[in-house]
């Protein structure tokens, strides 16, 4: 699958990666969530080349995570302000921080998520908001949703059969994608 096709799939992971999957984009979002808004702030913080920063900021604006807002008329200067979608990325960023600290930074964390009022480092975890129970691989799994295509349902069925030790035809062949009129995509 070409990178340009990610956003057109039904998979929420692929759709998300299509918007923020390039690593500079995630680092820009890290800084935007921390409060940086201006081009020169991002450039100095990240040490990123101006042409790459311009492209990534434009991509994040196009993806709906940032708004480009004029803050000075002469010369024209813009800042990049988080949208509601961009602010929602905070939970993903917090998970990145927790995962990175747990697996890659040893005992000396360079960044932590802390309670604003107390400064106490928080322990981050995913919970089911209806039950309060932690989400983990032992109790939970990804499953096709109500809007899943035949292709997505096939993938989940294949995985389920494989886990149960059932015959999987020893190959992973999903149905071909089809266009809006039912013909194979690209035809």
DSSP secondary structure letters along 80-147: EEE-HHHHHTHHHHHHHHHHHHHHHSTT--S---B-TTT-PBPPP--B-TTT-PBP-TTT------TT
| pLDDT value at residue 9 | 67
Q: Where are the domains of the chain?
A: 3-88, 94-136, 141-178
Q: Residue 168: pLDDT above 70?
A: no
Interacting residues of 93 by C-beta distance below 8 A, sequence separation 6+: 26, 29, 30, 33
| pLDDT value at residue 186 | 45
176 band by pLDDT with thresholds 50, 70 and 90? low
Alpha-carbon 136 to chain mean position: 19
Is residue 175 within 8 Å of residue 150, measured between CB atoms? yes
pLDDT tens-digit map of 81-90:
999 999 999 9
42 CB burial (10 A radius; 0-12, 13-18, 19+): buried
In the chain, what percentage of residues exceed pLDDT 90?
45
Q: Residue 128: pLDDT above 70?
A: yes
4 band by pLDDT with thresholds 50, 70 and 90? low
From its phi and psi, is residue 14 left (phi > 0), alpha (psi between -120 and 50) or beta? alpha
Please state at what angle helix 23-34 crosses helix 39-46, rounded to 10 degrees: 120
Q: What are phi and psi of 172, to 5 degrees?
A: -115, 95
Alpha-carbon 65 to chain mean position: 11
Q: Among the ranges 4-8, 18-22, 101-105, which has the highest mean pLDDT value? A: 101-105
Q: Residue 166: pLDDT above 80?
A: no
Q: Is the peptide bond before 75 cis (omega within 30 degrees of 0)?
A: yes
CATH class name, domain 3-88: mainly alpha
Task: Kindly report which listed range (65-69, 112-116, 176-180) carries the lowest average pLDDT score.
Answer: 176-180
pLDDT tens-digit map of 18-46:
887 788 999 999 999 999 999 999 999 99
Measured CA to CA, the distance from residue 176 to residue 119 in angstroms comes to: 52
Measured CA to CA, the distance from residue 125 to residue 156 in angstroms comes to: 25
**Mean pLDDT value of segment 162-179:** 68
In the chain, what percentage of residues exceed pLDDT 70?
84
């Amino acid at each position: 699958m070409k990178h340009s096709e990610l956003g057109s799939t039904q998979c929420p992971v692929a759709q998300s990666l299509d918007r923020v999957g390039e690593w500079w984009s995630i680092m820009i979002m890290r800084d935007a969530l921390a409060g940086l808004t201006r081009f020169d702030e991002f450039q100095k913080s990240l040490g990123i080349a101006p042409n790459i920063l311009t492209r990534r900021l434009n991509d994040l604006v196009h993806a709906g995570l940032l708004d480009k807002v004029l803050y000075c008329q002469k010369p024209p200067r813009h800042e990049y302000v988080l949208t509601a979608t961009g602010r929602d990325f905070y939970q993903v960023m917090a998970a990145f921080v927790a995962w990175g600290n747990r697996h890659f930074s040893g005992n000396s964390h360079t960044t932590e998520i802390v309670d604003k009022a107390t400064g106490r480092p928080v322990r981050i975890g995913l919970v089911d908001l209806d039950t309060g129970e932690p989400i983990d691989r032992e109790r939970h799994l990804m499953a096709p949703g109500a809007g899943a295509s035949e292709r997505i349902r096939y993938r989940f069925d294949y995985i389920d059969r494989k886990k149960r030790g059932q015959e999987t035809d020893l190959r992973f062949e999903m149905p071909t994608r089809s266009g809006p009129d039912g013909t194979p995509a690209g035809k």
